[in-house]
Amino acid sequence: MLERFKVPEDIAVRVAPATMRRAVEDIFVALGMSNADAAKCADVLVYADVRGIDSHGVSNMMRAYVAGLKGGYINPKATLKRVRDLPAAVSVDGDKGLGLGQGKELMELACERARTNGVAVVTAFNSGHYGPSAYFAHLALEHDMVGVSMTAGGVQVAPTQGAQPLLGLNPIGIAAPSNNEVPFIFDASMSSVAGNKIHLLKRIGGKVLPGWIADAKGMPIMAEAEVPDRFLMLPLGATREIGSHKGFGLAMLVEVLCSALTGTGAGPHRRQGVAHYFMAYNVAAFTEIDVFKSDMDAYLRTILDSKPAPGESRVVYPGVPEHEAELDRRAHGVPYHPEVIEWFNGAMGELGIASPF
């Protein structure tokens, strides 16, 4: 997370992860979820907050989930149903459930199938928002596998040189195991910046940087500016001249592998809720796991030890900043904006739940 997205320390309310987890579980249970499903959902949200992925933690997402459950858009008692089941490929109907609580079972199914088939893919449709892709990719590491997870995010992104939202935010998460070094865990939307981060900026009064968004007519905003009331997200790369065709293409890739591959339409043609993609590579099917992990250690250490550019203090790879955030936040609590705590107190009061805050 860039500094501009973070809650200023002088107003931050530090909350222990376990305390927030209990509050989240209580809200989900009060809205009709089983204790087990509420716990699965809380796991993902607390993971995001603890690892500094604030855009996909409780700050933004609980409001959407509560509204969806209250409005009947999310099924709190959803049951996963396998509609196509081959040894290394499974398609699942999510029964309008919250992907947040369904993704772990689906990623673990991919790992189970990859153990005997080398590689396996599980897709899901008719589901709901599933949180940070990193959480699900990360699950593969305990199986000595490489994990990949993608989801068809909200259709808010204009194609390169376009003026209509035709692409999802479409994050890709990838995790690879190592021995001694912090594992490589990559998670990024194929938009210029995660859409939820724009909402974080609004909360703290921050400004967008050049190339993050376009105005309502599709013109890229290429100077630091206040967040406008109406805007379009740009693909990763911002403009054609600096590589937005790459983000555009990758966002289309996620549309194809999540939405089109599940038979539910892509982009503005999506049907049957949100679609997800979970893939596991069994490292042992390709090489010795010890060799793979040792090679990863050597590569990761070389990156950490590499010479930084002028004005920079160090070089890090995806997974290191999140690991460092986790060490800090588990020790000192997660820093929340006071408005977030105020929302929790109000929401829990409406549901008749005692707030721990």
Residue type, 189: S
Token digits for 263? 């038979």
| The pLDDT value given to residue 176 | 98
Phi, psi values for residue 178, rounded to 5°: -145, 175
pTM of the model: 0.95
The per-residue pLDDT string of the chain (357 residues; one tens digit each, 9 = 90 and over) reads 667 778 889 999 999 999 999 999 999 999 999 999 999 999 999 999 999 998 899 987 899 999 999 999 999 999 999 999 999 999 999 999 999 999 999 999 999 999 999 999 999 999 999 999 999 999 999 999 999 999 998 999 999 999 999 999 999 999 999 999 999 999 999 999 888 888 778 777 888 999 999 999 999 999 999 988 899 999 999 999 999 999 999 999 999 999 999 999 999 999 999 999 999 999 999 999 999 999 999 999 999 999 999 999 999 999 999 999 999 999 999 999 999 999 999 999 999 999 999
Please state whether beta strands 231-233 and 213-215 pair in parallel, antiparallel, or not at all (unpaired): antiparallel
Token digits for 142? 């305990």
**Structural contact between residues 24 and 343, judged by C-beta atoms closer than 8 angstroms:** no
Please count the residues of the chain: 357
**Structural contact between residues 97 and 75, judged by C-beta atoms closer than 8 angstroms:** yes
- Cα 240 to Cα 218, 253, 349, distances in angstroms: 13, 18, 49
Residue type, 100: L
Phi, psi values for residue 57, rounded to 5°: -95, -155
Task: List, in order of start, the domains of the chain with CATH numbers.
Answer: 3-350 (3.30.1370.60)
| The pLDDT value given to residue 1 | 64
Using DSSP's 3-state secondary structure scheme, residue 221 falls into coil
Residue closest to 61 by CA, chosen among 96, 24, 97, 35: 24
**Structural contact between residues 211 and 198, judged by C-beta atoms closer than 8 angstroms:** no
